[in-house]
Structure formats: structure tokens, C-alpha cells
Amino acid sequence: VQAPMSATSSTFNAADTTGASSSARPTGAAEAKSAVGAARARLRTDLLIYIGVAALTLSAWWVSLQGWFSPWSRTGYWLGVAGGVAMLLLFTYPLRKRWRVTYNWGASKYWFVAHMVLGIMGPWLILLHSTFHIGSTNAAVALFSMVIVALSGVIGRFLYVRLHADLRGEKATLAGLRGAMGNQQQAADTRLQGMPGVLEALHAFERDTLDVRPKQGARHLWRLFVLPIRRQRVAQHCKAEVKQLIKQGASEQKWSKTQALSRYRACCEQVDSYAMAVQRAAQFQTFERLFSMWHVAHVPFVWIMVLCAVFHVVAVHAY
């Protein structure tokens, strides 16, 4: 008769068997890995965009120092024309969403990507055209309003991707995010059933996060700035405990290094996905409020930029 295994080892095996043979929940680990991968991909994309915007700005500044052309030269003139056309083409994205005739002209994802590219390249061409020299009050207002619109566009993109399921324009909902969080909770309960300390820490994180009831403004600030730090600390604590339990299970069950590493990675992915699902559900209303406030502030600067740009073009050709 085989001696009974320890509680830790038996629950590990039960979790592996459940994940391998149950048809009712065959995608728990895959969903966890997908959620973590999506969050990391979103962060990488954000960093690349910020670095790219900074690099383009520095490149325009470097070109202005070389003295190759002036805003009134032929090259500077056509750079201004190209930048102005790019800025005008930005309006095709909001018009496409409002005109029923154009609503089915291609996937929204590609329109949004084109809108972002034009929103970066247009201001860059205008900066090249200006060579960072301001010749009139109208040109100054047009230039600075364009800079504000471009920077607010980067902020708007940051908020947009946190309110939409993807770039197709399908807006996420609080109920959908809470449903995804519930799915991750169930998957964690299955995958981590031999780790009661880890599960209790994750459940406590969920309760404390969703039950925060300070004043309205303080709650939004807490969710925006404090919650990501707390999520990382909870996840690190849980992973440290997972590591110890995996070592214990590997010693008792004689797992190979590959088997132990595979179990450790699967558990860590589940911890990350569960904690991230809680954070997304908690931050949804905060990002929704910030996006509405951003839109109110963004639109006036767009119209100021357009009016000043039109006046600038007319003045240049008239005088």
C-alpha cells in the first residue's frame, strides 16, 4: 500500500490533473497567460510610443540647429504643408465614427492606428517647419496649441486602451471586467488550491481593493497611483510563497527541474492575471472619468489650433 502523500503534493497533482483532463475549464492557464501577456504587451507599446515621441522631438531640435533651411525657404514651406495636411487628415477618424456612410469603411483598429501615426508625424513635420523659431503671435499660439493637442493625444491614447478591449473600438464594461475577474478567481482557486496562504492573500487583496470607500477624489487617486504599487507587492509576496511550496513539492515528489519550473511559472502567471484582473476592475471607473475630463479639455485646444493654423496660412500667402 502506497503511503499517503502530503497535502501540498496531493493538491499539486490534483490541480495538474484538473487542468489536464477537465473539459469544463480547459483554458484557465491559457487565459491567465493571455491576460499577463496582454498587460505586458500594452506596457511595452506605451513605452515604445513615449520613447519614439521623445526621439522625434529631439531629432527635430537637432535638425533646427543645423541651419539647413528656414521656415520661409522652399523646404521649410513644403514641410509645413505636409504637416498641415497630416493634421487635417486627423479629422477623418472622428468623422468616420459619426458619419453612417463611412462607418463600415474598414476596421476601426486601422483607423485608430492611422490617427495615432498622423497625430505624431503631423506635429513633428510642423516642428521641422518652424525650426523652433516663432515669427508672430499667431504662429506662437498655433504652435503651442498644436503641442498641447499632440501631448493630450498621447494621454488620450493611454486612457483609450485602458477603457477598450482592443483597438477595434469595442469598449469594455465594468460588468465584463468583473466577470473576467470572477473567472480568474475560479481559475486561481483551482490552480492554487494547495496554497491556502497565497489564495488568502489574493482574496484579501480583492476585498480591500474593491471595498475602498474614501472620498470620491481620493478614491480615484488611490486607484490610479497607489493600487499598481500594492498589486506588485502582493504579487511578489505570493510568488515568494509559491516558490517555497514548489520547492517543497519538488523535494517530496522528486520532480525534475523542468517540471518544477513549469509549475512555478504556471502559478506565477495565475497570480499575476488574478491581481491584474482585480486592478483593471477597480480602475475602470477612474479611467472612464479621466477620459471624459480629457475629452472636455482636448476639444477646445483642437479648435484653437485649427483657427490659428488657418489664419497663419492665409497670412503667409497674403503677405
pLDDT tens, position by position, 160-191: 888 875 544 555 666 777 788 888 888 888 88
| Mean pLDDT (the chain, rounded) | 81
pLDDT of residue 5: 36
Residue 9 has a pLDDT of 47
Whole-number pLDDT of residue 167 = 46
**Residue with cell string 502530503:** 6
Burial class of 147 by CB neighbour count within 10 A (0 to 12, 13 to 18, 19+)? middle
Of 186, 195, 184, 277, residue with least CA distance to 243? 195
pLDDT of residue 135: 74
Q: Give per-residue pLDDT as tens, 113-146.
A: 888 899 999 999 999 999 988 777 877 888 888 8
> pLDDT tens for residues 72-92?
899 999 999 999 999 999 888
DSSP 52-98: HHHHHHHHHHHHHHHTS--TTSHHHHHHHHHHHHHHHHTTHHHHHHH
Q: What are phi and psi of 164, to 5 degrees?
A: -120, 145
DSSP class per residue in 170-229: -B--HHHHHHHHHHHHHHHHHHTTT-HHHHHHHHHHHHHHHT--S-HHHHHHIIIIIHHH
Global pTM value: 0.70
Distance CA 230, CA 209 (A): 9
* Burial class of residue 193, CB neighbours in 10 A (0-12, 13-18, 19+): middle
Q: Which pLDDT value is given to residue 298?
A: 85
* Residue 13: CB atoms within 10 Å: 14
pLDDT at 10: 45
Cα Rg of the chain, angstroms: 26
pLDDT under 70: residue ranges of the chain:
1-39, 165-174, 212-217, 319
State how far the Cα of 267 lies from the Cα of 29, in Å rounded to an integer.
9
pLDDT of residue 33: 58
